[in-house]
Amino acid sequence: MFNEANRVICDWLTASGTPGFAFSMVYAFVIGACFGSFATACIWRIPQGISIVKPRSKCPRCGHMITAIENIPMLSWLLLKGKCSGCGLPISSKYFKTELVMAILFTVTAAIRFHYQVPIAVIPAWIMIWIAVSSARTDLEKLIIPDKFTYTAMVLAVVYSFCFPAFTAFPGNGVRNIVLVYTVLSGVATAVFGTAIVISGKLIFGKDAFGWGDVKYMIATAMFFNVFGMMFILASACIFSLVWFIFDRVRRGKFRRYFPFGPFLALGTILWCIITIQKNGFVYWFWF
């Protein structure tokens, strides 16, 4: 059924040619911007324990309720010139930037997968890009990666493996039960591995050197991209963090006592989503 859905999408793209592909990219950009807008709400509300459903969004300074026309991703911020229509005070550009980054990443990953005839495989990429960007923001601002992000990703990984077993990085020739077992086992193996890192860091440094939020994030990546994908993301994150650590040391003239690791895991995740495609239990490195 889902293989057929993938084929139908590919046939439509082939038949419609460049206009169809262009339409798909515009659609991906708009979807990305909308998910980016939703991410900004979650980033603000979830760490504070506020429902993501209600109350309506409002200006944190004057309490002005955001109207529907003022809540259009990216466009509203530009039309309002980055200012609240109620009090006239500046609206942080981080909302616009988050929506723009999400829109661009959704478009890039969609273009790659549509070009290589696996449009269904855009689903895990979009899910983990959303989780990556949202987790990076909350870790930078609040020094936490909310459980609601990582647990949701884990559940969605199982759902994806159930619905689209032929478009995963797990062996089993697309057999649903086998793919589901590998999905769960990848999460369990990563949980054990992550726990060992946390305990080792505590013993060596006498304090938490690796957060449990980071471990849960790694579990989510393993359940989507298999253990190898998780290790690639972790290794990339370590390299990114080392480069940043050296640069920050030179710039500040002293070592920072603590810095969030989530943004570097997010960069590793985005890199993985850009340079790989998963299908039929294999990971394809199409840039090499």
Q: What is the pLDDT of residues 209-239, one digit of tens each?
A: 788 999 999 999 999 999 999 999 999 999 9
Whether residue 13 is predicted with pLDDT greater than 80 in this model: the reply is no
The answer to whether the beta carbons of residues 73 and 99 sit under 8 Å apart is yes
The answer to whether the beta carbons of residues 116 and 26 sit under 8 Å apart is no
CA torsion through residues 149, 154, 155, 157, sign: positive
Q: List residues bridging with 83 in a β-sheet.
A: 90
In the prediction, which pLDDT does 37 show?
94
In the prediction, which pLDDT does 219 show?
97
Poorest-pLDDT segment among 15-29, 102-116, 170-184, 265-279: 15-29
Tell me which residue of 276, 265, 122, 279 sits closest to 190, measured CA to CA: 265
> Who wins on pLDDT, 284 or 64?
64
Whether residue 167 is predicted with pLDDT greater than 80 in this model: the reply is yes
The answer to whether the beta carbons of residues 134 and 39 sit under 8 Å apart is yes
